[in-house]
Amino acid sequence: MTSAGGSRRLPVIATMLLALMLMILPVPEWAATFRPDWVVLVFVYWAMMLPRTWSVGWAWLIGLALDIAQGAILGQHAMALSLVVFMTVRFHLLMRVFPISQLTATVFALLALYQFLLFWVNGIAGVAAPAASYWGPVITGTVLWPVVSVFLSPLRARLQLGR
């Protein structure tokens, strides 16, 4: 990796680490149900904007780190995040031209898919959880998507300009 390539990846890696930290940050019990899936939101953004650099392999590694950090079934988040990122990369050209309302609806579907895969794996493993723990992150993530994309857009613009 060249120093220019490394300096371009550093801000993205920093946002991914920030998203991982927000996922493992202790919150009150009532707020844990509605904690957005920060890693998924940030990864969907970067996979949509930089699909050749941030794709399924990185999603798998970040998902494994999330599994380890949360003490979940190993591979659960990795599989779900990889599938969501695969779909994002597959349709990134289409998604990039969506208006914000349609893109928000698409992110809702991706977050719902992510939570469904977690629900499915937990069901197979016999782990019971209330429905709010699956729908809460989908709702809050959908509401926060425009904020996340507005926050990351200037960073993406700086990366593309090479600053």
Q: Which of 54, 62, 96, 105 is nearest to 80 (CA)?
A: 62
Nearest-10 crossing angle of helices 100-125, 76-90: 150
Query: For 100-153, what is the HEC assignment?
Result: HHHHHHHHHHHHHHHHHHHHHHHHHHCCCCCCHHHHHHHHHHHHHHHHHHHHHH
For residues 35-53, give the mean pLDDT: 93
Using pLDDT thresholds of 50, 70 and 90, give the confidence band for residue 11.
confident
Query: What is residue 162's predicted lDDT score, i.e. its pLDDT?
Result: 65
Residue range 7-15: average pLDDT?
A: 85
The domain 3-161 is placed in CATH, from the list 1.10.287, 1.10.3470, 1.10.1760, 1.20.120, at: 1.10.1760
Q: What is the mean pLDDT of residues 64-89?
A: 94
pTM comes to: 0.90
Q: Please state the domain extents for the chain.
A: 3-161
Q: How confident is the model at residue 1 (pLDDT cuts 50, 70, 90)?
A: very low
CA 128/CA 17 separation, integer angstroms: 29
The model's pLDDT over 107-154, given as tens digits with 9 standing for 90+, comes to: 999 999 999 999 999 999 988 888 778 899 999 999 999 999 999 988
